[in-house]
Amino acid sequence: MNPLTSIPQRLVSSPCGGFSIPEEALSGPELESLQSALLREAVAFARRRSPFYRAHFSRFVDPDSPAWGLPEFRALPTTGKDDLVRLNRDFLAVDSSRVADIVATSGTTGRPIRFFLTARDIERLAENERQSFLCAGVRPGETYHLAVSLDNMFVAGLAYFSGLVRIGAAAVRQGPGNPLRHVHLLGDIRPAGIVCVPSFMLELARVSEREGIDPSSLGLQRGIFVGETIRNGDFSPNALGRRIAADWGIRLHSSYGATEICTSLTECEHGRGGHLHPTLMYAEILDERGQPLPRGEAGELVVTTFGVEAMPLVRYRTGDVSFIETGPCPCGRTTPRLGPILGRRTHMIELKGAQIYPGQVEDCIREVPEVVNYQIEAYTGDDYADRLRVFVGAAPGSDGIVDLLREKVRAQARVTPEFVALSPDAVRERLFAGGSRKARRFVDSRRPAS
């Protein structure tokens, strides 16, 4: 039986090649039936059209088989970043004449990966952001300040702009950099909200205060934050989130996305995780052996995309460690939610028997307002053990900052990295070395195990 026959027709409508449905309308059985149908369709499309997946899945049960279901899906091998780097064009599932845009990952965790989009994929991006922004409370007629790049092959800026337009909201496309101009624009235009990397809000607050302007007087009501986490594992604001809330007095919304999955997930006003879009992606949380973990347990996020034409992905390992919440959300939506990103799977560091992620050290650093910027580096010591070094750029007159940070990290994260004090300009050069598009706050210089 076609699983679509059990889905009420009120849920089946298609502005972007997939399903677009009110998330709060889905019951548990409806959601399972819908995603079962979409998984079958996604695997069949990838196997039929993508040279990579045709070979990758050749020994596995054909999704057109009546016996195909979730067990057969979970038996499929996963896909990783290395596959995308080595065999990039083999993932292309359309004729190259249909490619409308070429984008790339930032390369902060390795070699940049190129991705191809059709015109319909761009429409899907816009629809995804429409759903995400509506979830965060964006409404028609409002204005939002975009402090993210729309150039340099960066897909997220295009997606945010397109999503706002699709809602009927206005966008101020300032892009990153030049914080003083941002402050002036915020004061002149007074947008309802801002979309940016959250640490940029700290820089904007410093510039505002230097100009004699109280950041909370600029009229922002909410911030939609990308690229860095603003919450702890229990959904409470972390040090970065707390500082933004204190400086700006705004509502915080965390948003997760990745170039490869062409999808983002944004928190509603209750801040209990990013609501998944069941018509656009399927999310799994897997352990180190590739086995599914129970809801609420942390593991690697693995994604299958729905409705992507040019480069669909099946069971793609994002490398990000998180968990999925399935309990009811006070906003009324019944879809699962992705928890905060706890770290990168490959960034786990073992220091004298303690396993930590760089984010745990970052959270300690961000509690100290005198720190202007920083970079964390993992390296291999002479004894072949993991070591951690932190380069700190501090405000003038911040004597004793290294001792303060060392004690704070030792007390809260239970590790003692090496701290190196530099000027903020010197740290900034390290953050954007090699023309990096995004600040490289963590650098992994560890030697591979022999």
| pLDDT score recorded for residue 312 | 98
27-32: long-range pairs with CB below 8 Å, 24+: 27/334, 28/334, 30/6, 31/278, 31/334, 31/335
Report the candidate in 151, 94, 79 with the shortest Cα–Cα distance to residue 309. 94
Return the exposure string of 177-196: e unless at least 16 CB atoms fall within 10 Å of the residue's CB, then b.
eebeebbebbeeeebbbbbb
First to last CA, the chain: 52
Q: Model-level pTM?
A: 0.84
| pLDDT score recorded for residue 5 | 36
The 10s digit of each residue's pLDDT in 189-227 is 999 999 999 999 999 999 999 999 999 999 999 999 999
Is residue 305 within 8 Å of residue 277, measured between CB atoms? Answer: no
| pLDDT score recorded for residue 28 | 72
Q: What are the average pLDDT values for consecutive 10-residue runs of the chain, which has 450 residues? A: 37 40 64 89 96 95 88 95 94 97 78 92 96 96 95 91 97 93 97 96 95 97 95 93 96 95 95 94 95 94 97 96 92 92 86 80 89 92 86 85 90 88 92 81 82
The domains found in the chain, sorted by start residue, are 117-344 (3.40.50.12780), 348-445 (3.30.300.30)
Query: In this structure, is the dihedral angle defined by the CA atoms of residues 254, 259, 260 and 261, taken in order, positive or negative?
Result: positive
The 10s digit of each residue's pLDDT in 134-149 is 999 999 999 999 999 9
CA atoms within 13 Å, Cβ hemisphere of 173: 12
Backbone phi, then psi, for 331, in 5-degree steps? -75, -15
Amino acid at residue number 339: G
| pLDDT score recorded for residue 10 | 37
| pLDDT score recorded for residue 265 | 96
| pLDDT score recorded for residue 109 | 58
Angle ∠(327,287,34) on CA atoms, nearest 5 = 45
**Residue length, the chain?**
450
The 10s digit of each residue's pLDDT in 42-81 is 999 999 999 999 999 999 988 888 889 999 999 999 999 9
